[in-house]
Amino acid sequence: MKTTRSPVRGWLRRPSGDRPDDESVVAALYREYHRPLMGFVIRLTGGDRQLAEDVVQETMVRAWRSADRLDTEAGSLMPWLATVARRIVIDERRRRDARPPEAGEGHLESVPMPDRMDDLLRQVVVTDALKSLSEAHRQVLNETILRDRSAADAAEVLGIPVGTVKSRVYYALRALRVALEERGVTA
């Protein structure tokens, strides 16, 4: 029985000066090994043809880059190519497993988002209503309500008697209620 030598293997044995151009080597690699390698890789990838094509392409690139290190006595490059392809598939699986799965935008559309516009508008209206109050009323509301101080603590900070603080809070809240009603806010 007569064995035929692979043209790719013959090129690998030639001295570097007699070696054909890279395009010829790659074309010969594809011609000889593409179909069997593709079948092997499709089985490795569970039928994912796109991934299989990427793996075969990367395997061929690695074969081309490693041409000077390949075993020139072997009758076929297929065992080496299959090993490289298998390692590429394993690396790809590890890479996919290391990353969290991508969610896509469909899920984001159904996520409830609170509408903060009402809160913002309310804040603007209340701020505007507070500006319409006298300085003394704003100060007493700031100390008692916004800073959550007792009447005694507010009186100490403001330097006025506790009774005055209580009186100003009462009249400031009445004035604030009127200012808010003028702006369309009702309780």
Q: What pLDDT is stored for residue 185 in this prediction?
A: 81
Q: Distance (Å, rounded) from C-alpha 121 to C-alpha 124?
A: 5
**CA nearest to 66, candidates 52, 76, 80, 56:** 80
pLDDT, mean of residues 65-82: 79
Q: How many CA atoms lie within 13 A of 11 on its CB side?
A: 18
The domain 7-98 is placed in CATH, from the list 2.40.30.200, 1.20.1730.10, 1.10.1740.10, 1.20.210.10, at 1.10.1740.10
Tell me if 137 sits within 8 A of 168, measured CB to CB: yes
* pTM given for the model: 0.46
As a whole number, the mean pLDDT across the chain is: 83
What would the pLDDT profile of 102-132 be if each residue is shown by its tens digit?
666 666 677 777 778 888 888 888 889 999 9
Domain positions in the chain are: 7-98, 117-182
What CATH code would you report for 117-182?
1.10.10.10
| Fold matches, 7-98 and 117-182 | no
**Neighbour count for residue 155 (Cβ, 10 Å):** 20
